[in-house]
Structure 1
Amino acid sequence: MLTGAGFHVLLALAKGPAHGYAVMRFVEQVSDGAVRLGPGTLYRTISRLLADGLVEETDEDDPGAPHDARRRYYRLTGPGEQTLRSEVALLTRMVEAAREAGVT
């Protein structure tokens, strides 16, 4: 099971490679500002995901973004995609259970 931050990072990378700031923006936008990953949390999370083989650094970048040689881009690996799918399935079951319990 992933941490919340880990889930958010994998979800942000599901559409393709991104750099850290783009991941932070995605999470904030998708959560309507309810979740904000600070740089420390973000990069500790990315380090764990790299060590676990769920993401990897890539030379690919966003052609629409200004070039910055310091930016590191990350992408999902096969195991990262499978982990994300498993986590989404678990969350879906939890939402269904909440509905059945009358919570939503």
Structure 2
Amino acid sequence: MRETTYFTLAALQHGPLHGYAIIRRVSELSSGRIRLATGTLYTALERLTTGGHIQVAAEEIVNGRARRSYELTPGGRAALEEQARVYAEAARVVTRPVVRPA
């Protein structure tokens, strides 16, 4: 899973968000490292929807335009949690003290 995908899914872990809110939340969660462009986000949302990781939670018309909110599916939550475990294990390789045999 790419880092942008991971943070996009993580942005939705506490409930549905619309596109602009996802962009802001991804930036917050990544401490500003990841700044999604609108086109990149909507391509990712389409891919994640097609892949069954997220779904449209609601759609409303705001200023004449459709605004969709997205939410994690159970499969998306499972994928996010699995990737978190992978990242945590990778971090432990670097951060845990190395005990060398005598």
Q: Which category of TM-score, normalised to the shorter sequence, fits these structures?
A: 0.7 to 0.9
Alignment-derived partner of residue 88 in structure 2: 92
Structure 1 segment 49-68 matched on structure 2, within 5 A: 49-59=48-58, 68=62
Distance 1:60 1:70, change over 3 A: closer
How many Å apart are 1:32 and its aligned residue? 2.3
1:70 aligned to 47, 66, 69, which one?
A: 66
> 1:47 deviation in Å?
0.7
RMSD of the alignment, in Å? Answer: 1.9
- Show the 5 A alignment for 1:1-104: 2-59=1-58, 68=62, 70-100=66-96
Q: Report the 3-state secondary structure (helix = DSSP H, G, I; strand = E; otherwise coil) of the residue aligned with 1:70.
A: strand
Instruction: Give a deviation string over 1:52-86, Cα, whole Å, max 9, x none.
Output: 0000001278xxxxx72621000000100000000
- Mark the structure with the bigger radius of gyration: 2
Unaligned runs of 5+ in 1: 62-66
Q: Distance in 1 between matches of 2:88 and 2:72?
A: 21
Letter of the 2:87 partner, please give it: L
Between the aligned partners of 1:39 and 1:4, the Cα distance in structure 2 is 17
Structure with higher RCO (Cα < 8 A, 6+ apart): 1
Q: Which consecutive unaligned segments of at least 5 residues does structure 2 have?
A: none
> SS in structure 2 opposite 1:41?
helix
Paired-residue identity, %:
31
Scaled by the length of structure 1, what TM-score is found? 0.83
